[in-house]
């Protein structure tokens, strides 16, 4: 797309959402802290703005990507030739009624878990340290320490590809290990309703503090990363396979397999997205050669990689 076409499209996007930027560095919006510029970076202030932006992107054939906190994402050094649509503060409201918690897709999962604790509700303790948004958690059925979103979700309100609002029950969401129907169906999550249970606030807090201590002890939280880099292969643990392949501390440029937890690839400083990708490919190859197990990336990728 030439500059005049990009400028014209920028103007049209701005008519639909004033918070539209061009050439936005994606390293500012991912927990890996890497990634080149997105052609357009849009933060809708309402469902109506979101619908209007998506409609224009589809009309004009502009590729788009829905972004939450960027905590499970690797963006290429060349960036993204399309529109990144950030589901942010305007979609972060959290409401409670009895044992029901309803929250917007832009709410941080840790904030939702904290609100549940404040209301004396148990069931979301596992989510208190997950660094993503509720929308992202719904896309991949996020989980940790034996808990998963599927255990608490009742229904979700989504925007369909046709721009219609639709409410999906738990069975319709088709939530499984690190998956749901959201991406395959082209839905955008707007809001999720969860059903928890009343519990003892002191015990809930104790569980959250215990999980936080375990994370600090076992995970490389001192370095930028995207959390667990690979999905758990059936019958195995990705981190143990990587460790047993002798890859603890293995590095490419500024990217490194964490010695603290081999399931994490971290940015030790100055890593490029290509460093991270090259390292992940090498890890997959060596684990496959050694154990006959093919690791699948849990981290999503955006943009072109060599």
pLDDT at 3: 73
User: Catalytic residues, which ones?
Assistant: 178, 228, 298
pLDDT at position 4 over 90: no
Ramachandran class of 120: left when φ > 0, alpha when ψ lies in -120 to 50, beta otherwise: left
What's the pLDDT tens digit per position in 85-141?
A: 999 999 999 999 999 999 999 999 999 999 999 999 999 999 999 999 999 999 999
Q: Name beta bridge partners: 252.
A: 255
What's the pLDDT tens digit per position in 245-265?
A: 999 999 999 999 999 999 999
| Count of H-run helices and E-run strands, the chain | 9, 19
Tokens encoding 145: 């320490």
* Contact between residue 228 and residue 184 where contact means Cβ atoms under 8 Å apart: no
Task: Give dist(CA 29, CA 172) in Å, integer.
Answer: 31
Q: Name beta bridge partners: 21.
A: 41
Q: Give me the mean pLDDT over the 291-297 stretch.
A: 97
Q: Give me the mean pLDDT over the 21-31 stretch.
A: 97
Q: How many C-beta neighbours within 10 Å does residue 60 have? A: 12
């Amino acid at each position: 797309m030439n500059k005049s076409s990009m400028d014209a499209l920028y103007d049209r996007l701005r008519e639909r959402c004033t918070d539209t930027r061009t050439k936005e560095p994606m390293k500012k919006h991912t927990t890996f802290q890497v990634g080149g510029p997105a052609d357009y970076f849009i933060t809708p202030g309402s469902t109506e703005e979101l619908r209007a932006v998506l409609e224009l992107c589809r009309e004009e054939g502009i590729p788009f990507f829905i972004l939450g906190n960027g905590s499970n994402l690797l963006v290429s050094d060349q960036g993204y030739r399309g529109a990144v649509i950030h589901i942010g503060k305007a979609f972060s409201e959290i409401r409670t009624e009895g044992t029901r918690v309803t929250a917007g897709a832009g709410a941080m999962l840790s904030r939702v878990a904290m609100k549940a604790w404040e209301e004396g509700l148990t069931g979301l303790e596992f989510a208190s340290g997950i660094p993503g948004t509720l929308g992202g958690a719904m896309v991949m059925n996020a989980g940790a320490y034996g808990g998963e979103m599927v255990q608490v979700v009742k229904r979700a309100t989504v925007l369909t590809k046709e721009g219609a609002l639709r409410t999906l029950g738990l069975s319709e969401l088709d939530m499984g290990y690190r998956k749901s129907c959201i991406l395959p169906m082209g839905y955008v999550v707007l809001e999720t309703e969860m059903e928890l249970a009343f519990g003892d606030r002191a015990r809930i807090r104790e569980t959250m503090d215990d999980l936080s201590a375990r994370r600090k002890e076992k995970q490389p939280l001192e370095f930028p990363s995207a959390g667990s880099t690979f999905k758990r292969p059936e019958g195995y643990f990705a981190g143990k396979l990587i460790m047993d392949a002798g890859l603890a501390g293995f590095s490419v440029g500024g990217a490194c397999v964490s010695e603290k937890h081999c399931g994490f690839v971290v940015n030790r400083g100055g890593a490029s997205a290509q460093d991270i990708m090259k390292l992940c490919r090498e890890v997959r190859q060596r684990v496959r050669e050694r154990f006959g197990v093919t690791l699948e990336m849990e981290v999503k990728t955006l943009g072109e990689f060599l």
